[in-house]
Structure 1
Amino acid sequence: MTAEHAAPDTEEAAVQPPVRPAGVGLALGLIAVLLSLGLLYLASSVFVPLAFALFILALVAPLRRVLRARVGSALASTLTLLITLSVVILFLYLAAWGFNLVAQWTMGNAARLQRLFTVEVASLHPQLSLVQDMFLDNFNVYWLVRAIQEVLVRVNSLAGQVFLAILFLTLGIFEMDEAPDRLRRMVPGADHWLVVAADVGRKLRRYMWIRTIASILTGVTVWLFAMYAGLELATAWGGLAFLLNYIPFLGPLLATLFPTFFAFVQFESLQTTVFIFLILNVIQIAYGCYLEPRLAGNAFSLSPLMVMVAVFFWGLVWGIPGTFIGVPILIVATSVWSSSQRRRGNVYLQGSAGKDSLPKPPG
């Protein structure tokens, strides 16, 4: 009798999977993340246009849906594509126009800017002589010129990625109707992920509406203040403030520093420059730290630290485009993570309810 019971136990032990040492799963997950990041970095010429195309598709999906109900699928796709391309070209033209003006002015006034900094720093309090010497020995305005030239080179090199993003966008717009059915045939449980995608799209659209409202107000306010202060190229400063406000943290900083340098050269007064710098910061803080959080409410549940990390991290991986797309990627990641956790919790609750409903064995 003992031998009969021992045999099944031996067979069951033989088929049990080997126990994996603790920490192996974490190590494998870390390796997978590092390999994925390496792939995203090395193949950025493909993944950056794809990410922007998907992002724009999420934004224009309601427009196409409204047009399809009135003019049909093919014409709705064509009109949506034309409207989207018009907006994208307008943004790109505004960026190229503004940055070219800043670059031309900086290169044309580099020597004057260097001289003014040298004179102003030399007139500081005598007790700061050590700081003066270190500043004058290390500061060179031509570093700024080279930095702006590097930015322009990187912007010009994005032309190929813009073309590829437009190609992805065109294919995506004309395949919006067939995409859900194809996804259902290819992916098990696709209905759940379609619901998640719709929720992510709503969040991205709300994020862009809030960003756009704050950017328009920031650009108009900076433009009006630049005209009031007598700054030249006031329209360029307003346009750049509008565009750069789409990049959290880094964009407002650049939109403040550029006019400040220009004001220093134009007015040749440190006091006036400091005043302009402070007012520009007040404008950025008023809209970025007060208006935007009130408009967003608890819709995204993103801490400023997470937003800052996303901007700088994706900027490191994908360069200038990564700083813009970093926060939308963070919104997508947090939404997918929250949905996965809710789904896992629902499965656990259903499993527990099923176990409770089983009949108990007789005592």
Structure 2
Amino acid sequence: MRRSRTDRTSLHDHTELRVSVRIICCILVLGLLHVASSVFIPLAFALFTIALVAPVHHWLHLRMPAPLASLLTLLMTVAGLAVFLLLAGWGFSLIAQWIIVNAARLQSLFVLQTESLHPHGTMLMGMFLDNFNASWLLRAVQEIALRVNSMVGLFVLTIIFVALGLFELDGAAGHVENLLGRRSSRRWALAARQISSKLRRYMIIRTLASVLTGLTVWLFAMYAGLELATAWGGLAFLLNYIPFLGPLVATVFPTLFAFVQYETWQAALGVFLALNFIQVIYGSYMEPRLAGNAFSLSPLMVMVAVFFGGLVWGIPGVFIGVPVLITVMTALVPRRAIRRRSCGFPSEEVNDGKQCR
């Protein structure tokens, strides 16, 4: 009895030690990902992009030589990413021009509106006048320029990684088999196919939600009589790819524009509430439930992945957080289930007598 109790205590201590070591390793890995983010961010985006365009590469490879198929896939990928960047540059340039042109009008309208809030209006007006001025606008524009420059560098490095990956895609299975052996390579190949399939499905769901959001915002802006309705719809479509933070930006700027256009805070509040209602319907209700049903992810897990990715990698991490979560959850499928699938057995079937030869 005493020996059994001692064994249980030793087993408990060993389990605690293993858990502690795993936690320490996770913290060290997260620290490495944060410190070396300039390398890991474009690498993660490149792997994500390759997973999305792999079917196109395979289709082209069946009809032409492998180098030409890789080159055409790369050109189409660059063209698609360039469209998104041009759309972002077009939309934000319109916003920047509008802010510079209407800064004085916005400031005067704010002064008029806060004067009606006496005695609190004086304090709010003083805080606003101390911060909202030409130098503040200049700093904001400079900060946006720095962000754009960093995104351009990220884009270029990502394209380089994508090019290297596409030209190595055909021989990747052979390299993995030489490195890990046939049985292990089959398991990893199956996991890679599952991850790629889920990532493509995730992007289809997100693109559907983004298109619906952009169209609804455009229709609402047209109905409300907002100027630059097409720009607001395009930005809503684009920013919806960045969970939580993107929709916030897509609602704040039209609200400021409505405040200047209608010259009443009540109209601006109505626009803000309507845009947030649209974002909640598509971004916070429909999309998380579609993603959760497709990938067995709860909305809470999706939200944690988004904010945790932002904590480690900033705005790029906010976008890539959910794909990383999908990748990790798929890769953590029990090895037994992956082995049974690679042997041709259903994952739900339990048959201990059959072994993979």
Report deviation, 1:343: 5.4
Q: What secondary structure, in the 3-state scheme, does the structure 1 residue paired with 2:170 have?
A: coil
Describe the superposition over 1:115-161 as per-residue Cα deviations: whole angstroms up to 9, x where unpaired: 3223223324x6xx45x455444444456774564233112122222
Alignment of 1:137-176 (within 5 A): 137-139=126-128, 140-141=131-132, 146-147=139-140, 149-176=142-169
Q: Distance in 2 between matches of 1:353 and 1:108?
A: 73
Is residue 58 of structure 1 aligned with residue 51 of structure 2?
yes
Report deviation, 1:72: 3.3
Report deviation, 1:183: 1.0
Partner of 1:223: 218
Partner of 2:175: 182
Q: Distance in 1 between matches of 2:290 and 2:236?
A: 20
Partner of 1:3: none
Unaligned runs of 5+ in 2: 1-9, 342-348
User: Residue type of the partner of 2:146?
Assistant: V
User: Residue type of the partner of 1:199?
Assistant: Q
Higher-Rg structure is 1
User: Residue type of the partner of 2:309?
Assistant: W
Q: What secondary structure, in the 3-state scheme, does the structure 1 residue paired with 2:62 have?
A: helix
User: Residue type of the partner of 1:109?
Assistant: N
Alignment of 1:228-247 (within 5 A): 228-247=223-242
Report deviation, 1:75: 2.2
Judge conservation of contact 1:248–1:307 (CA < 8 Å) in 2: no
Q: Distance in 1 between matches of 2:226 and 2:322?
A: 32
Judge conservation of contact 2:114–2:122 (CA < 8 Å) in 1: no
Partner of 1:275: 270
Identify the range of structure 1 (220-229 vs 318-327) with the bigger mean alpha-carbon deviation.
Answer: 220-229
Partner of 2:197: 202
Normalising to structure 2: TM-score of the pair?
0.83
Partner of 1:47: 40
Judge conservation of contact 1:107–1:145 (CA < 8 Å) in 2: no
Distance 1:31 1:246, change over 3 A: same
Alignment of 1:289-300 (within 5 A): 289-293=284-288, 295-296=290-291, 298-300=293-295
Across the two proteins, how many residue pairs are aligned to each other?
332
Is residue 92 of structure 1 aligned with residue 85 of structure 2?
yes
Q: Distance in 2 between matches of 1:341 and 1:253?
A: 43
Q: Distance in 2 between matches of 1:212 and 1:311?
A: 17
In percent, how many aligned pairs have the same letter?
56
Q: Distance in 2 between matches of 1:297 and 1:31?
A: 29
Q: Distance in 1 between matches of 2:246 and 2:14?
A: 46
Counterpart among 258, 274, 284 of residue 253 in structure 2 = 258
Judge conservation of contact 1:211–1:292 (CA < 8 Å) in 2: yes
Distance 1:18 1:299, change over 3 A: closer
Describe the superposition over 1:71-114 as per-residue Cα deviations: whole angstroms up to 9, x where unpaired: 23222212211111100111111112211221232233333323
Judge conservation of contact 1:310–1:330 (CA < 8 Å) in 2: yes
User: Residue type of the partner of 1:210?
Assistant: I
Distance 1:152 1:302, change over 3 A: farther
Distance 1:69 1:20, change over 3 A: same
Identify the range of structure 1 (17-26 vs 56-65) with the bigger mean alpha-carbon deviation.
Answer: 17-26
Report deviation, 1:176: 1.1
Report deviation, 1:353: 5.0
Normalising to structure 1: TM-score of the pair?
0.82
Distance 1:308 1:19, change over 3 A: closer
Alignment of 1:2-151 (within 5 A): 23-124=16-117, 129-130=119-120, 132=121, 135-139=124-128, 140-141=131-132, 146-147=139-140, 149-151=142-144
